[in-house]
Structure 1
Amino acid sequence: MTPNDAPRPRITIPRVEIPSAARRQWREAIRERLQRDPGQREAWLALGSMERALGNLEAAAQAYAACGPDHPLAAYMHDLLVGAPRPESTLGSELRTPPFIYLEDFLSETTVAEIHSAFERQREAFHPHEVTSGGGVTGRLDDYRRSFGTRGDDETRELILTPVRAALAEQRIPERLGVSFDAGDIEIELSSHLDHGMFVPHRDAVPAVPTRRLTFVYYFHRLPKRYQGGDILFYDDHGPRQLWIRSCFTRLTPKHNSILFFPSDRVHEVTPVSCSSDDVFDGRTTIRGCFHDGWMSPAQPA
């Protein structure tokens, strides 16, 4: 099935958000304020928040650093954005910003070429994705998730899992992200987002699949890049119920041959993709994996 065969959206999920243009205007106003009085910590915090929501992670880290190392939230955010996440317990508040580890140039050129070949070999297996609701019902919701994919075959699994396992051990990724899990299932999914492709804010660990602990997403695409969009947003949350905050997030624009690790229970989103081609390999192609704490029951969807 091609994207043109997909049924039109059946439901509408409201999207209330602050336009990037408004954020840029606020950022300039904060910068002007800091030029007059650079000692305002709250302004530096606000600038850091604006920069990370716009995807300017280096500038955001610099803004948080300006608050000084004795500010718990600023110190946590700075370390997170420079690739050295610290335990969330150091925050000293109920506000939580999802930790993540992002690595560029993850695979050798030879392995990237092998993954391209593996995707091509499984072209006919790609189908519209389904989602699983909190009540365990699985089906298509085109205004919730719009993408194509398939489970990876054994060769593809080994191509990606061998370097992923090495990274987990060598870089102590579970410990740095505050995630722990025993040996269990590992899901692998090949995915492509084409024109209007997206995935609204969600958690990978849901009541229907509670054993997911650590998610990774490997990003690669044809060169030159043939799509736009497809950023990933990590939403802050607050309080014991982990209520996520629509206006506070960190934006990442993943590069070709990069990988992202994050806890499966944190709210994240894939922003809409623009792509003029119907070829699944011209879109935002990824390999997503989830490490489980133990083994899924036969009733659990993969």
Structure 2
Amino acid sequence: METLDLIQLARTYISYDQFEKAKSTLTQHLQATPNCPHAHDLLSSISKQKEQDIGVVSCPHVIIPDLLPVELIDELLNDADTHIGKFEEGRVLGAVDIAPEVRKSLRLKDLELTKKMELWFRPILHRELSKYSSQLGIALFEISEIELKFCCYPNGSYFHRHRDDQATYGDESGKRIPCRRRISFAYYFHRRPQRFSGGELRLYATDRKNNIYSHNRIETLPPHFNTMVLFPSGFFHEVLEVFEPSGDIMNGRFAINGHICEALPSQEKTSTAAQGASS
């Protein structure tokens, strides 16, 4: 069997939590290629599964119920209804990419609504960052940006498995820059009583270093009304398909999705500024 085939076979075993088979496959590979760094990394991943940042580990998450007063939620729903004609297809990988094979959802962009979301959510996230970071096993970091997106998942919507920390944005020169997302969150709300089914958030145990997720260790969280869920951006996750028979957008699953992004280290900021000044 070819070298790359053995590596891929080991990754597949790991994704199904068959660690002994993966170890045997990697050992076989290293007998032929003893200095392969990727094989050594995968073996380390298997042998150190219990460490927070090594191996396929379950996705930590924080659930915050009853986040907002009900009157504020009614205001959000009224805003959505008022601007229903402004909803656009949700995008992936950047501002211009629509990929229905990956994501099918709607997003509402409105200046006044954005100001409202910032007023309600940014203070909470800034104030509680230390607590959330500790609960999620993330070292405390300086915030550069909090992304906030007003989303709707009507009938037939979904967002297939992905990692948020792999997203990039384009700078003025067209270069793709990492978003430096550290914590992802979703705040759920909808009309009452709930008229849709599905739309659960599925969190996958993930080996972030080797970009592997487990098919077996999965946690599925319903989109409970007035609840926020936070989790590290480096874990694979997905939104399951929403079912709502009437087809009315306003009967769908609403969410304010976002990411807390880390600021560049001081040295890197200085380097980036110098490059900008010299270009």
Q: TM-score range by the shorter chain?
A: 0.5 to 0.7
The alignment's C-alpha RMSD in Å is 2.6
Residue identity matched to 1:103: I
1:228 aligns with 2:191: no
Kept in 2: contact 1:104–1:259 (CA 8 A): yes
Question: Does the alignment pair 1:200 with 2:160?
Answer: yes
Q: Is the Cα contact below 8 Å between 1:227 and 1:275 reproduced in 2?
A: yes
Where 2:165 maps in the other structure, the secondary structure is coil
Q: 1:191/1:101 Cα in 2 relative to 1: closer, same or farther (>3 Å)?
A: same
The normalised TM-score by structure 1 is 0.61
How far apart, in 2, do the equivalents of 1:120 and 1:228 lie?
20
After TM superposition, give the deviation of residue 150 of structure 1 in Å.
2.6
Equivalent residue, structure 2, for 1:186: 146
Amino acid at match of 2:64: L
Task: State which of 78, 89, 112 in structure 2 corresponds to 1:128.
Answer: 89
**CA offset at residue 105 of structure 1?**
1.3
Q: 1:205 to 1:138 in 2, by over 3 A?
A: farther
8 Å contact kept, 1:111–1:159: no
Q: 2:132 aligns with which of 167, 173, 181?
A: 173
Percentage identity across paired residues of the two chains: 24
- Are 1:277 and 2:246 matched, yes or no? yes
Q: Distance in 2 between matches of 1:207 and 1:199?
A: 14
Q: Secondary structure at the match of 2:257?
A: strand
Measure the CA separation in 2 of the matches of 1:281 and 1:160: 22
2:104 is matched with which residue: 142, 146, 154? 146
- Which residue of structure 1 lines up, in the alignment, with residue 15 of structure 2? none
Deviations 1:113-149 (A, max 9, x none): 23223333443321111111xxx69422112100001
Runs of 4+ in structure 1 off by over 6 angstroms are none
Aligned residues: 205
Q: Secondary structure at the match of 1:223?
A: coil
Which TM-score applies when normalising by structure 2?
0.66
| Alpha-carbon contact 2:50-2:57 (below 8 Å) kept | no
Q: What secondary structure is seen at the aligned counterpart in 2 of 1:95? A: coil
Q: Distance in 1 between matches of 2:208 and 2:146?
A: 30
Q: Which has the larger radius of gyration?
A: 2
- Which consecutive residues of structure 2, in runs of 5 or more, have no partner in the other structure? 1-48, 169-177, 265-271, 273-279
Note the residue ranges of structure 1 that are not aligned, 5 or more in a row: 1-87, 298-302
For 1:243, the aligned partner's letter is: I
